[in-house]
């Protein structure tokens, strides 16, 4: 091992030790076990192929790419939209009628998506509580 490699390894170990020493900030995570209190029946039963295709086209369009580049500093590969589109081709509908065999698969798809989003964190729902009652005059309240 050369001198440069050993120095790089020392720097790498210092960063790893620093990461281990940092406490995990749990003040913004309200739910620890989200999966326990979520029922599959709460999710949509229909998935439109047209809507999934619109979302995919919007992602690949220049506006969708510019928006993603502005927000995250990189272009989007549209993986989530592609997954949804291919899933909708398999289980989705073009008409208003529902197939009872596919409704449970569609609900599982939406539940899995929801849990993936929650596990990533960073949602405003992790910080703010849902308001149960409307404010009388929210802009003139002192």
Percent pLDDT > 90 in the chain is 35
pLDDT at residue 62, rounded to an integer: 96
Looking from the CA of 108 toward its CB, the CA atoms found within 13 Å total: 7
pLDDT at residue 36, rounded to an integer: 56
Please give the torsion angle defined by the CA atoms of residues 56, 61, 64 and 67, in that order, rounded to the nearest 10 degrees: 170
**pLDDT tens digits for range 5-48:** 887 787 777 777 655 555 554 444 444 455 557 888 888 888 89
**pLDDT tens digits for range 69-81:** 998 899 999 999 9
On average, the pLDDT of the chain sits at 80
Strand partners, 93: 48
Q: How buried is 26 (Cβ within 10 angstroms: 0-12 exposed, 13-18 middle, 19+ buried)? A: exposed
């Amino acid at each position: 091992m050369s001198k440069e490699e050993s120095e790089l390894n020392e720097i790498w170990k210092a960063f790893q030790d620093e990461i281990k020493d940092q406490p995990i900030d749990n003040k913004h995570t309200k739910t620890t076990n989200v999966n326990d209190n979520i029922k599959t029946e709460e999710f949509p039963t229909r998935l439109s192929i047209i809507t999934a295709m619109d979302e995919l086209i919007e992602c690949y369009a220049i506006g969708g790419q510019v928006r993603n580049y502005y927000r995250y500093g990189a272009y989007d590969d549209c993986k989530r939209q592609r997954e949804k589109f291919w899933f909708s081709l398999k289980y989705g509908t073009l008409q208003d009628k529902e197939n009872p065999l596919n409704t449970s698969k569609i609900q599982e798809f939406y539940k899995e998506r929801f849990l993936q989003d929650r596990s990533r964190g960073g949602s405003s729902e992790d910080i703010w509580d849902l308001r149960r009652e409307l404010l009388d005059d929210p802009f003139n309240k002192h």
